[in-house]
Amino acid sequence: MPHGRHKPMNDRIFKPNALFDGLHLQRDAGFRISNGRIAEIVDATPQARQLAGCVSPGFVDLQVNGGGGVMVNTTPTPDGFLTIAAAHRKHGTTAILPTVITDHPDVLDRAVQAAIACIGQDGLLGLHIEGPHIAQARRGTHASEFIRPMDERTLDCVRALRAHDVPVMITVAPEAATTADISDLTNLGAIVSLGHTDATAGEIDAALSAGARCGTHLFNAMSQMQGRAPGAVGALLASDAHFGMICDGHHVDDRMIKLALNAVAGQNRAFAVSDAMATVGGPDHFVLYGQTITQADGRLVNSAGNLAGAHLTLHEAVKRLVDSVGVSLGTALRMATSTPAAVIAKPALRQLVGQRIENVIVLSEDLATTTPLMTIL
């Protein structure tokens, strides 16, 4: 944008078809821009410039394994992280937690150094460590040979991240991390999320009491809910913990998503995650653990035909939540913006006012496209 264009914008009110302020969807409001940021939400005037679509803060994704042809595990470098962030930004996701899954300890060490090196750049929020301290019985696509109990090496990685004030989410299973481990991680300032677990409801309750406060991709890779055995799913839903869900129509049936959302209605505990792999903004296949993962009809499968991550963006998740699950647009946008921002304790990402215009998006009326606001003004 040529120098000098920002000044006229400061003197004008913009009126979109809809405006998501971080909590509520408004249909009759406008907004004013000052110094490259959304300065305030105002009553729209007849002179306001009309904008088609819905204006919203950019999406916040707390579980991103890859994008742009790159995987965190295979390219745990600042350049790799930035490539992944750029691939998701093209689809409206302006803040991500790069996610390193179960692997050799050296891979985690490199991912930690990359997160420290590029924290804050292009919406890189920190690091999500998903495994290796998970249950063999619920490992999913995670490599069996690297799964192990919580150890000092991982704790040192978390200490290093927190010493540099880098946010950390770490997914563990009670089978591989004791309540003392969970308490230690929580005291370090890490967000402990429970997942890839076959734990009983009682074991999940104990982990939550020790400081865990989130669930990783609810329903997937965890003990299921039954009448007399609530499992991880039931215990998480019955708690006050937040939980992520992969809303791609392949990982979780839409009816189960609706049931979970009904169970926590009005609590803003559920958030959408992409669990995205390298195929988002990249080729239709990639290599993980020496095995080729291929996209077929929107699903990522390994050579055995099993799901191996997701080919999904949060934009697509929002559209599916509205079109297929039947939630309101406001609810879907909370799940993709303000709720994950609250989980990661980033209040600046939770609301429209104060957002830089490069981190504000415009969704088309049919939700088919997202466009950066700054390219429209």
Q: What pLDDT does residue 6 have?
A: 42
Superfamily for domain range 6-57+355-375: Urease, subunit C, domain 1 (2.30.40.10)
Q: Shortest CA distance to 95 belongs to which of 149, 57, 138?
A: 57
**How many degrees, rounded to 5, is the angle at CA 248 between CA 242 and CA 249?**
110
3-state secondary structure of 288: strand
Which are the contacts of 89, defined by CB distance < 8 A and separation ≥ 6?
58, 122, 123
Q: What is the pTM of this model?
A: 0.96
In the block, tokens 């999913």 appear at 140
From residue 11, alpha-carbon distances to 39, 48, 248 in Å are 11, 10, 42
Number of Cβ within 10 Å of residue 8's Cβ equals: 10
* Residue-level pLDDT, tens digit, the chain, 377 residues: 343 344 445 668 999 999 999 999 999 999 999 999 999 999 988 889 999 999 999 999 999 999 999 999 999 999 999 999 999 999 999 999 999 999 999 999 999 999 999 999 999 999 999 999 999 999 999 999 999 999 999 999 999 999 999 999 999 999 999 999 999 999 999 999 999 999 999 999 999 999 999 999 999 999 999 999 999 999 999 999 999 999 999 999 999 999 999 999 999 999 999 999 999 999 999 999 999 999 988 899 888 788 889 999 999 999 999 999 999 999 999 999 999 999 999 999 999 999 999 999 999 999 999 999 999 88
Q: What pLDDT does residue 11 have?
A: 64
Cite the active site residues: 275
Phi then psi for residue 224, to 5 deg, are -90, 170
Q: What pLDDT does residue 305 have?
A: 80
Q: What pLDDT does residue 377 have?
A: 85
Number of Cβ within 10 Å of residue 130's Cβ equals: 26
Q: Shortest CA distance to 193 belongs to which of 174, 170, 211, 219?
A: 170
Q: What pLDDT does residue 47 have?
A: 84
Nearest-angstrom CA–CA distance, 33 and 26: 17
Domain ranges of the chain: 6-57+355-375, 59-349
**How many degrees, rounded to 5, is the angle at CA 119 between CA 114 and CA 125?**
110
Instruction: Identify the CATH assignment for 59-349 out of 3.10.20.340, 3.30.565.10, 3.20.20.140, 3.90.1210.10.
Output: 3.20.20.140
- Which residue type occupies 345? A
Q: Are 183 and 207 in contact (CB under 8 A)?
A: no
Which are the contacts of 163, defined by CB distance < 8 A and separation ≥ 6?
none
Nearest-angstrom CA–CA distance, 201 and 180: 18
Q: In what order do the strands lie in the sheet with 127-130?
A: 59-64, 93-101, 127-130, 168-172, 191-194, 214-215, 242-246, 270-273
